[in-house]
Amino acid sequence: MLRFALGALLVLAPLAQAANELRFTLRSEPKTFNPLMVEDESSETVRYLTGGVLIRLNRYTQELEGELASKWKVLENGRRIDFELRPNVHFSDGTPFSCEDVAFTMDRLMDPALHTPAGDAFRSAPGAVETKCASPTSASVRFPGPVAALALQYDQVAIMSAHSPHKEAAVLGPFMLGEYKPGAFLVLERNPNYWKKDSNGRKLPYLDSIRLDIQSNRELELLRFRRGELDMVNKLDPEMFDRLSSEMPHNVVDAGPSLDSELIFFNQASSAPLPAYKLNWFRSAAFRRAISDAIHRDDLVRVVYKGHARASAGPVSPANKFWLNAALKPAVYSAQAALDELQRDGFHRSGDALADREGHRVEFSMITNAGNKLHERTLTLIQQDLAKIGIQLNVLTLDFPSLIERITRTYNYESVLMALTNVGLDPNDQMNIWLSSAQTHPWNPNQKTPETPWEAEIDKLMQAQAASQTPAQRKIAFDKVQQIVADQAPMVFLVNPNALSAVSPNLKNVTPALLRPQIYWNAERLYLGSGYVSQK
Amino acid sequence: MNRTQKIAIGVLAAVTLASLAAGWIAPSYAEQFRDFISAPPSAKFPLGTDELGRDRFARLLYGTRVSLLLAPAAALLSTLIAALLGGTAGYLGGRWERLVTSGIDVFLSLPWLFLLMAVRALLPLNTSPVTSVVLTFLLLGCLGWASPARMLRAGTRTLANSDYLVQARASGVAPARLFWRHLLPNLKPILAAQFWISVPVFILSEANLSLLGLGVAEPLPSWGAMLRDLENYTSVLQNPWMLAPAVLLVAVVSCLQLLLRTEETLPC
């Protein structure tokens, strides 16, 4: 009898809460509801919660799982992928899901006229992408060239209906757009036709709806969370986290280092309007390594990030378990090592100041975005660290559009502190950063041919790993890229901030992950009840 | 001058003297004591330390120096520009007046904050903190003339049609002498009022810019930059000494307002 009662409680617990609504905020207005055109974080949140994908990356285990595709197989060295689709699946408006929808989505995704951001990852070679349907539940997609991590790329592709009159409003994800008041809120309602069920055979999702308030003010967001008006805050800064932690210790989650990196880099662009001697400094690997050695990363972690970050060793965060080159260690702070390196490169102390071999005093500016307290504090710490080796660092905070203009168009900057936000795990997601020909190659973009041998080597290795379908071979190539970056220090990686969030004790089934979206990655299994969040 | 105004002068004098003596009282405003971050007040740090371990008292004194020296300088600049443009527009009239009035309207309709941000973005990269703060106040001074100029134009226009000026003109007094000897001395109360009004406005403008992270460059302190710490209201409740820059700002602005009343009641 007791066993039955407990069992009934377990089954009924989610049922009892099904009428509840999960509430959290979007920091800005979603720019689009077309899942193929998503670029901004708010639209990505809506896509994640409403879009149905063939394959999903489990944010917690970091492994691929079948969603709309029950099985898949990558063939022809990454040129082809075959899917076995789940039968009896329907879009939110009742339209049946079939291979035709996959073909329609692929056509839209690869349509050159649309320039879909998600399609970039599939564009490996010129030519058309062909989707064949042997049956309604069998799809085969063929690409003109090999696509690296082909299956993983489908995590970003929400399938659209080929026949629904509601177009992108017909979705296959756990929720669908219910109400939208621009500038105020969105309500995502439970998709009655969602295909997934829990182990007890109950249809998911448990939640009835999700209300996303558009709220850019972080202080107000925190205040509303405290009042119980919001159920979670998906990304907190360390100061807010500590404040909340002292008041509501059971409501905060520090999931450890995130995929993001804080870094600095120097302008090495040939067309930069900088004096030649400064370009020489910035193009010297010894100079860049010395700067790296002179920055006290442990103090950055302790003082700026209140302990909620980890000193960074390179471009891959420890959160990215597979692709991290574990042999790399963060630079150990040593002003003396930095000075020794600089002296070997022809620099010398001239009184308190440092001068190059031509007698120019080493003074340069570092820009960052205004209003970002963490960046401003980081720069102030770096300023004092560099002063110890005789370098004068001038800090310049700029509004964000001016900053982007300088680093991507006019190249009128000397060095910059910024964050590298990684959404994906795969090195292919960073192609636009590492290839010397890329428009967004940070320190010296749009190179016709690589200007340095080590950049040529990085290009070669990145292309090699992209062409290979063997994870082990790709790992070897990307490990070498990380080693070159550590040796040449074109970007000086500082810290990996932790993924910090706040969750109401009422929200159940929360298993915070390091990958975005950290808290609601399993939104279909979340429900509201009472108790404490279990930190895993 | 009443007793309250004497007290105001005393407070302003004490604050100014303390800021000028900052080099002796608390010399290290930039040094980071990283083992004493966010420390409470102590004998070594009378107002505790900030999030980077810097002495809040030293930063307050140096910040006062920046705000109290540069805000009046910017106010003086904007008042001079206003006197030149507004005064001549009111005195000469005609096309020049229409041109200046249109210029004033354009300047008043400009979103000055965005203009400041745009101009700041054009500054040279290697601008030292001191140069940067001087340029910021120079910009404020150059952009803040429109409102006083409108007052001065109206004041000059009224005076230009007054009986004594009409009589002086009829007696054959030269225009330049008329301007310098008869008009300008009578504009003095308006000029003084505009100057004293502008001082707190510029102090607060710098504070606003600093709140956006666009004010005085690190590591140089200013009241505005220190006021940014008050965004974290929980910390303020727990560490009330963080309110010191706000208290000082209110005290100084209030004292300036009290002195302004003295200027307003001065006989012509």
Nearest CA in chain B to A368: B213
Cα B190 → chain centroid: 17
Identify the CATH homologous superfamily for domain B3-264: MetI-like (1.10.3720.10)
In CATH terms, are A52-172 and A261-497 the same topology?
Answer: no
pLDDT band at B257 (very low <50, low <70, confident <90, very high): confident
pLDDT higher than threshold 90 for residue A15: no
**Range A475-494 average pLDDT:** 96
Q: Would you say A42 and A31 are in contact if contact means Cβ atoms under 8 Å apart?
A: yes
Q: Which of A304, A380, A399 sits opposite B117 (nearest CB)?
A: A399
Domain ranges of chain A: 52-172, 261-497
Q: Whole-angstrom distance between the N-terminal and C-terminal Cα of chain A?
A: 33
Q: Would you say B41 and B47 are in contact if contact means Cβ atoms under 8 Å apart?
A: yes
Q: How far apart are CA A280 and CA B249, in angstroms?
A: 46
Nearest C-alpha of chain A: how many angstroms from B69? 23
Percentage above 90 pLDDT, chain A: 68
Q: At what angle do helices B56-92 and B94-109 cross, to 10 degrees?
A: 150
**Range A523-535 average pLDDT:** 71
- A52-172: which CATH architecture? Alpha-Beta Complex (3.90)
Question: Residue B266's pLDDT is what?
Answer: 45
Which residues in chain A have Cβ-Cβ distances shorter than 8 Å to B218? 376, 379-380, 383, 395
**Range A92-115 average pLDDT:** 93
Cβ–Cβ contact B25 with A under 8 A: no
CB contact under 8 A, B214 and A383: no
Residue to substitute from B28, B37, B52, B125, interface A, most A β-carbons within 10 A: B125
pLDDT higher than threshold 70 for residue B263: no
Q: Whole-angstrom distance between the N-terminal and C-terminal Cα of chain B?
A: 16
Q: CA distances (Å), A213 to each of A33, A221, A229, A449, A503, in order?
A: 16, 10, 10, 48, 16
CB contact under 8 A, A303 and B231: no
Q: How far apart are CA B253 and CA B4, in angstroms?
A: 14
What is the dihedral sign for C-alpha A57, A61, A63, A68?
negative
Q: Would you say B225 and B187 are in contact if contact means Cβ atoms under 8 Å apart?
A: no
Q: How far apart are CA A377 and CA B56, in angstroms?
A: 15
How many other C-beta atoms are found inside a 10 Å radius of the C-beta of residue B53? 19
Picking from A69, A66, A38, A64, the residue whose alpha carbon sits closest to that of residue A141 is A69
Nearest C-alpha of chain B: how many angstroms from A487? 28
φ, ψ of residue B220 in degrees (nearest 5): -65, 130
Q: Which class in CATH covers the domain with range A261-497?
A: alpha beta
Q: Would you say A221 and A501 are in contact if contact means Cβ atoms under 8 Å apart?
A: no
State whether residue A100 is helix, strand or coil.
helix
pLDDT higher than threshold 90 for residue B138: no
Question: Residue B112's pLDDT is what?
Answer: 74
Q: Residue A435 corresponds to which tokens in the numbers above?
A: 């290839």
Q: How far apart are CA B203 and CA B192, in angstroms?
A: 17
CB contact under 8 A, B32 and A381: yes
Q: Residue A473 corresponds to which tokens in the numbers above?
A: 């071979």
Percentage above 90 pLDDT, chain B: 30
pLDDT higher than threshold 70 for residue A533: no
**Range B221-228 average pLDDT:** 83
**Range A229-239 average pLDDT:** 91
pLDDT higher than threshold 70 for residue A525: yes
Ranges A9-18, A445-454, B91-100: which has the least confidence: A9-18
Which residues in chain A have Cβ-Cβ distances shorter than 8 Å to B222? none
* H-helix or E-strand spanning residue A532: none
Rg of chain B, C-alpha, whole Å: 22
Q: How far apart are CA A189 and CA A521, in angstroms?
A: 17
Q: Which of B32, B213, B234 sits opposite A397 (nearest CB)?
A: B213
Q: pTM of the predicted model, to two decimals?
A: 0.80
Could you report the predicted ipTM of this complex, rounded to two decimals? 0.76
Q: Would you say A222 and A245 are in contact if contact means Cβ atoms under 8 Å apart?
A: no
Rama region for A254: left / alpha / beta (φ>0; ψ in -120 to 50; rest) = beta
Which residues in chain B have Cβ-Cβ distances shorter than 8 Å to A370? 212-214
Summarised one tens digit per residue, pLDDT across range B46-104 is 999 999 999 999 999 999 988 888 888 999 999 999 999 998 898 888 899 999 999 99
Question: Residue A18's pLDDT is what?
Answer: 41
Q: How far apart are CA B9 and CA B21, in angstroms?
A: 18
**Range B109-132 average pLDDT:** 77
pLDDT higher than threshold 80 for residue A518: yes
